[in-house]
Amino acid sequence: MEAEIKGIKDETHDVKTFRLEPEEEIDFVPGQFCLVSIKEEGFPDDSKPFTFSSSPEKDFVEMTVKKVGEFTTALHSLEEGDKLELTEPRGKSLNFDESVDRDIVFIAGGSGITPFISAIRYSIDRDLDHNMTLFFSNREYRDIIYRTELRHIYEDYQRIKVVNTLTHEEPDHWDGETGLIDREMIEKHVDDLRDKIWYICGPPPMIDAMEELLEDMGVEETDIRFEKWQIPGKHD
């Protein structure tokens, strides 16, 4: 279906959020994505997967896009009023809603935060009572998408904990973690690992490392949900 760009927000130096008005209502579950193509002249004739980053409770739809290659550069050059074509929502592995009856740990690398911000926003909109811990790994402070919103959520909701880690710098004012997410960091912030559902989203090497670590720490394979991103061709 066609969707018009109604607003564009700079989130970081290389990430933008697009607010879209689809011609029909889109019925998605937090964690789902769709294939996006550009309906304007002179743009690549291609479609790529992007996740809904807004809460399905809202009367708008948003997608947050990191510029990494040809298609995402083309998306970043679009303006309000330009049109996209979206497929129907798809994907199951990262879905979150009230049917999940355990506490949650999200592990996100960079733009892998998008399915989880949708889930967190939705859980706030619906006043759900899951305890949620978000580990959010970025290279540098300037890369942290939704930094202010996540800080407010952490301050305002006792049931939602946000653990930021930076892997490539430690600014003077930094009060989060540094380095890759490891056993020590997880044990410091999460009790009763085996009682949780674990969601992981980010670059494939990070997912492999986290899955191996969690299984080493005694988490059941069936309690780990993940989506590997940036595999060219996988969702074409």
Q: What is the DSSP letter of 103?
A: -
| Among 12, 17, 51, 138, interactor with ligand FAD by CB under 6 A | 51
Should residue 76 be labelled a site residue for ligand FAD when binding is judged by CB under 6 A?
Answer: no
Asked whether position 146 contacts ligand FAD by CB under 6 A, the answer is: no
- Residue closer to ligand FAD by CB (options 177, 227) is 227
State the residue for tokens 């191996």. 212
- Cβ distance to ligand FAD smaller for residue 109 or 164: 109
Say how far apart CA 25 and CA 22 lie, in whole Å.
7
| Contact with ligand FAD (CB under 6 A) among 17, 114, 123, 164 | 114
Nearest one of 6, 1, 55 to 24, comparing CA atoms: 1
Decide: helix, strand or coil at residue 154.
helix
235 binds ligand FAD (CB under 6 A): yes
In the list 61, 65, 105, 119, the residue contacting ligand FAD (rule: CB under 6 A) is 65
Residues 84-103 that bind ligand FAD (CB under 6 A): 91
- Of 25, 68, 80, 92, the one binding ligand FAD (CB under 6 A) is 68
Residue 70 within binding range of ligand FAD, rule CB under 6 A: yes
CA distance 133 to 115: 14
Measured distance CA(112)–CA(207) in Å, rounded: 10
Yes or no: say if 82 and 4 are a contact pair by the CB < 8 Å rule.
yes
As given in the structure block, the two tokens for residue 189 are 């912030």
232 part of the interface to ligand FAD, by CB under 6 A: yes
Which of helix, strand or coil describes residue 209? helix
178 binds ligand FAD (CB under 6 A): no
State how far the Cα of 184 lies from the Cα of 188, in Å rounded to an integer.
6
Q: Is 121 in the site for ligand FAD (CB under 6 A)?
A: no
Q: Does the protein bind ligand FAD through residue 64 (CB under 6 A)?
A: yes
Give the range of 57-65, 76-84, 127-135, 173-181 binding ligand FAD by CB under 6 A.
57-65
Provide the edge-to-edge strand list for the sheet that holds 132-138.
Answer: 177-178, 160-166, 132-138, 104-109, 197-202, 224-228
Task: Indicate the helix (H) or strand (E) that contains 37.
Answer: strand 33-38
Site for ligand FAD contains 54 (CB under 6 A)? no
Residues forming contacts to ligand FAD in the complex (CB under 6 A) are 33, 48-51, 63-66, 68-72, 91, 111, 114, 227, 229-230, 232, 234-235
